[in-house]
Amino acid sequence: MTTLTLQEHFEHTDESVELDSRDPLVRLEALCDPDTFVLHYECDGAAAGVGRLDGSLSVVFATDARIQGGALGVDSCDLIVHAYQLALDQDIPVVGVWQSGGARLKEGARSLHAVGRVFSAMTRVSGTIPQVSLVLGPAAGGAAYGPALTDVVVMGPDARVMVTGPDVVRSVTGEDLDAVSLGGPEVHGRQSGVAHVTADSDVEAIAKTRRVVGLMARAVVPVSVSDEQRDPAATLPEVARRAYDVHPVVDAILDEPGVELHKNWAPNVVTTLGRLHGRAVGVIANNPIRLGGCLNAPASDKAARFVRMCDAFGIPLVVIVDVPGYLPGGKQEVEGIVRRGAKLLHAFSSARVPRVTVVTRKAYGGAYIAMNSKSLGATNVFAWPGAEVDVMNPTAAVRILNRRDLVGLDGEELAAAEDRLAAAHAVTTGGLSTALSEGLIDAVIDPIHTRDAISAAITNAPADRGQLTNIPL
């Protein structure tokens, strides 16, 4: 069987050729754009240098899985700390390629102290420069928390991120689990939320890492001028109550499909990095095909993390809203919907980047507020024709407000009465004219003009939006 270096494999078209390299230099050369990697540091256990990822100058480092399984010692940790300092000094992203068993056993507490210094360096630059981790093999102990401290984690198919390995788990808890069940891509991509992106091959993982870095680091790229008019509403079902997948809507707003983060974790909210007229943007969208698009505890956590990350690196936010409310139930209360929902409110309220909301069909209740409403300081809020903004669905509202009038009715008679009362309620409280007159919505726009409206709102946003609007006492 033929084996290739990572770079050769990356450029190879024959998928039958298997990848067989743990050499950190080979991995770093493959990670960087062709012929751009320059080695700066190399030691027993790691290597680091500078290269370009999707055109963006970045500091890159990799652990050496060939030596003690990539375990981190004093020297390799010092190298990573130096790499972080270089990235901070140059104000450029730092990208780590991880495959490591954690602290070196033979170096004892010294290695633990060294790993702690890496954590400190990561924390010190958090929110200042983009940090991206690419995990290509087992990453345990300190090597698990390293990636988890960074902004975006990309996991290849052989990645295993875990605090302790199967043998220790078995001896301490009695659980008989393998490494895949403990920390494989499925666990962290779908259940824990540790992995932002998972890939079916190392080659795909490298490509996605490059794109993420380019989107986070390059605010604007040249785009060809096009008169093409896209209709984001074209794929929506005609029946307003029918569920649909929001991904085509997001794709129609962006120049081209972006990189979705946390695709399989809390999929009732979609979070995507992409470009709009060449400008990097972060898109948050309710996904009605999943839980009806309701906000729940994990989705609130996911969205809040995304808002904070985009705000930290000056990436404007586009919020696509079709939300019936928060998902009710005892399970949600136990999972911390109040605490985690509050984090989303806080994230939007404190964000200083331009953030534009488009209400496509409905925005009800507390979820209306949480999805970047005017009350939280949205730059602009637009709505498509027929959208509704209200405390709750009109039918549900009249079942509470008019319950005495509905007593004794059933079947078609009940349905007709509910429809009549709901229509009157919607005109009074949930119509677009009311939202416009109250300033809750800035404008009702034709869906085909959505891209241009968002782009203009971002371009014209005030440079400093940190001051509260004066409110007369």
In 216-353, the DSSP E strands lie at 259-261, 269-276, 279-286, 317-323
* Residue from 323, 420, 415 nearest 364 by CA: 323
Q: Compute the radius of gyration of the chain from its Cα atoms.
A: 25
Whole-angstrom distance, CA of residue 194 vs CA of residue 141: 14
Pseudo-torsion of CA 249, 255, 259, 264, nearest 10°? 10
Type of residue at 464: D
Residue with tokens 């633990």: 112
Q: Does the annotation mark 466 as catalytic?
A: no
Is residue 95 within a helix (H) or strand (E), and if so which, with residue range? strand 94-100
Whether 431 sits among the annotated catalytic residues: the reply is no
Q: Which residues contact 149 (CB under 8 A, 6 or more apart)?
A: 119, 122, 123, 126, 131
For the packed helices 297-312 and 337-350, what is the interaxial angle rounded to 10 degrees?
Answer: 20
Q: Which of 45, 101, 142, 282 is catalytic?
A: 142
Q: Which residues contact 293 (CB under 8 A, 6 or more apart)?
A: 243, 246, 268, 286, 287, 322, 323, 324
Of 139, 367, 422, 457, the catalytic one is 367
Asked if 366 is an active-site residue, the reply is yes
Nearest to 64 by CA among 51, 53, 75: 75
- The rounded distance, in Å, linking the Cα atoms of 50 and 60 is 6
- Among 243, 366, 396, 456, which one carries the catalytic annotation? 366
The answer for residues whose C-beta is within 8 angstroms of residue 332's C-beta and 6 or more apart is 296, 297, 326
Encoding tokens for residue 304? 């809040």
Contact call for residues 340 and 302 (beta carbons, < 8 A) = no
- The single-letter DSSP state of residue 429 is I
Q: Which member of 70, 96, 102, 141 is catalytic?
A: 141
- At 134, phi and psi to the nearest 5? -115, 115
Instruction: Give the catalytic positions in this structure.
Output: 141-142, 366-367
